[in-house]
Structure 1
Amino acid sequence: MIRVLVADDEALVRGGLRMILGVHPDIEVVADVADGAEAVRLAARLEPDVVLMDIHMPRVDGIAATERILAARTDVRIIMLTTFDLDEYVYRALRAGASGFLLKTTPPRDLAEALRTAARGDALLSPSITRRLIDHYTAAAPVAAGPGLTELTARETDVLRLMALGLSNREIAGQLFVGEATVKTHVNRIFAKLGVRDRVQAVVRAYQSGVARPGGVAS
């Protein structure tokens, strides 16, 4: 069972999300709140697996709430759900530690799968946001790889580059002719060496450093 906390200042949106997610037997909405301060409080008390977090809310906005929640619990996944498709919000949310970023125009059928993806520890971004995120980091000069990236083995680097291209563990396994469990082990080791929580953060590091580039891999 995936336990979900919904944070949005619009009652109609909260009610709609409850209805959409309520038809899925593997998902339970444990609470819904109207502001970021309440999201922080209930995330600590209820320990949800995933938080669906709006950005613009009273008292404490979604990005600040994300930072506070993750400062106390690193195992919770937070998906930013908003009407605002602006670069500023994308970068701020990812820097705060969000595991995904979806627009409120996301089809209802995709929302449950997004929660499952996040609960598995995978990252989730709308395709348009992924494209702009990659463009943002690759437009800048690469930063130093840093100790985490330099500690990756050759095979772990291959896995990271394929992750940066958006491939799932199963697809990476097919590319490298290894088992999916082996890829999962490599992914977990990459996270540990880079000191990141999920695929979004690992992919950002790959593009920042020049280890990966759009449409291919860095030499």
Structure 2
Amino acid sequence: MAAEAAEQRGNGVVRVLLVDDHPLFRAGLRAALESDAGVTVVGEAELAGQVPAAVEQHDPDLVVMDLTLPDASGLDATRQLAARRPQLPVLMLTMADDDGSLLAALQAGARGYLVKGAGREEVLHAVRTVAAGGAVFGADIAARITALLAGSRLRDAGRLFPALTAREAEVLDLVARGLDNHRIARELFVAEKTVRNHVTHIFEKLNVATRAEAVARARDMGLGDTGG
């Protein structure tokens, strides 16, 4: 394996690990990537938990990661890779096109972000560029990055989580600050049962199962900062 990897790299071939839970999509993406002689798919994974072992086994130059996986977020897998293998770049390829997901991917350490549906040439360009140490974002996404990172929108939960109502976004920010339902109810002058209902809806819309997961998502966006 090591000799093969060295030979491929010596020939300028980019070794890619695909992480996506849809077999048909992986098959199509593999075919698209390997239509270029300069790219080879060395392995696949369908769960976030499989990523560390797959990276060790296949020694890729680049990981193409979906944002939503059955066992955990692709963001979690990206953070773990950034901590364990900071030299290994991650390209997010996802259906999510909202500002919150984009910002979270950047903060997790992704070097590129494309929305599924990007053309073959755009994906190949992104793979080659990110593997070479560059950063690539879809044309429609790149224009939003400066505004996102400027900070003026970091605390706008309604924009970062467009599925949430204004009140749900407000509740999420308070949850991220560490307040329990009773304190949130006092803060907002509403019944505690109302807060519980909001929290339930937030969990459903963010596709999280626990308060800790909701807090992690919110803090990824810059919410919950008390300024101290």
* TM-score of the pair, normalised by structure 2: 0.59
CA distance in 2, matches of 1:122, 1:98: 11
CA distance in 1, matches of 2:97, 2:53: 27
CA RMSD in angstroms comes to: 1.4
Does residue 19 of structure 1 match 2:31? yes
Secondary structure, aligned partner of 2:53? helix
* Percentage of matched positions with identical amino acids: 32
Does residue 102 of structure 1 match 2:108? no
CA distance in 1, matches of 2:40, 2:124: 11
Deviation digits for residues 104-147 of structure 1 (CA, Å, limit 9, x no counterpart): 11101221111110111000011222211212233629xxxxxx
CA distance in 2, matches of 1:5, 1:139: 33
What's 1:77 paired with?
A: 89
* Structure 1: unaligned runs, 5 residues or longer: 142-219
Deviation digits for residues 20-42 of structure 1 (CA, Å, limit 9, x no counterpart): 01111111100111111112221
What's 2:71 paired with?
A: 59
Q: Which of residues 89, 103, 111 in structure 1 aligns to 2:123?
A: 111
The residue identity in structure 2 corresponding to 1:117 is T
Matches within 5 A, 1:153-192: none
Does residue 48 of structure 1 match 2:60? yes
Q: Highest Rg: 1 or 2?
A: 2
Give the CA deviation at 1:67: 0.8
* TM-score of the pair, normalised by structure 1: 0.61
Secondary structure, aligned partner of 2:60? coil
What's 2:191 paired with?
A: none
Q: Which of residues 123, 133, 139 in structure 1 aligns to 2:135?
A: 123
Could you say which structure has the greater relative contact order, defined with CA pairs below 8 angstroms and 6 or more residues apart?
A: 1
